[in-house]
Amino acid sequence: MKSKLIVIEGPQGCGKTTLANYLRENIAGSNLFRLTGNKDKTITGKEKSKDMYLALLEYMKKLEVCDVNLIFDRTFFTDYVYSLLGYKEYKYDDVYEELLTMFSNLNYDIYYISLYLEDSNIYEERLKRVHHNYQAFSKESSVRQQNTYKSLINKIKEHKNIKVYEIAMDDFDKAYLKINEIFEINNK
């Protein structure tokens, strides 16, 4: 049986950290990684980001035989979304395609979980928490991110080794029921 490789993506305030913690607590033998990406938004940041994610994919590859599940709260998908939204000074399409192909060829049961909110007004409350100053937090920004993440889904689904799920995080309990079904979690 292959280990699981789970990537959780979505806009600021959608519940990535909450879901990542839940998975870490409920899937035995799991390591949780929280990535923030590269803070260099200039053209030199593109190479830094590429190098970082190539190293990360190499690390994932080395762990394929270690019988450990990997959970990632953000990865290179975020860098791509941020570049598409103009938060970066560079285009990331070529790097993204290379990373996505390498990612899909890893020897794991790969899950890409895209989170969103059906009621975008919930972002307002969730974004009041303390946060880093890398990217401005606002309902409008999160909605733009959400729409951009949704636009990636069909292309990701073309990679047959990646199981893609879109999960609404408006109600955590309902989201957990869906997650429990996907990962066969029985916490009764």
pLDDT per position as a tens digit, 29-85: 999 999 988 889 999 999 999 999 999 999 999 999 999 999 999 999 999 999 999
- Non-local (6+) Cβ contacts of 90 within 8 A are 42, 43, 45, 46, 83
Site of tokens 């729409």: 147
Does position 126 have pLDDT exceeding 90, yes or no? Answer: no
pLDDT tens across 12-32, in order? 999 999 999 999 999 999 999
Residue 98's pLDDT is 98
CA–CA separation, 133 vs 35, rounded Å?
A: 15
Pairwise CA distance, residues 74 & 11, whole Å: 10
Question: Structure pTM?
Answer: 0.94
Which amino acid belongs to residue 54?
L
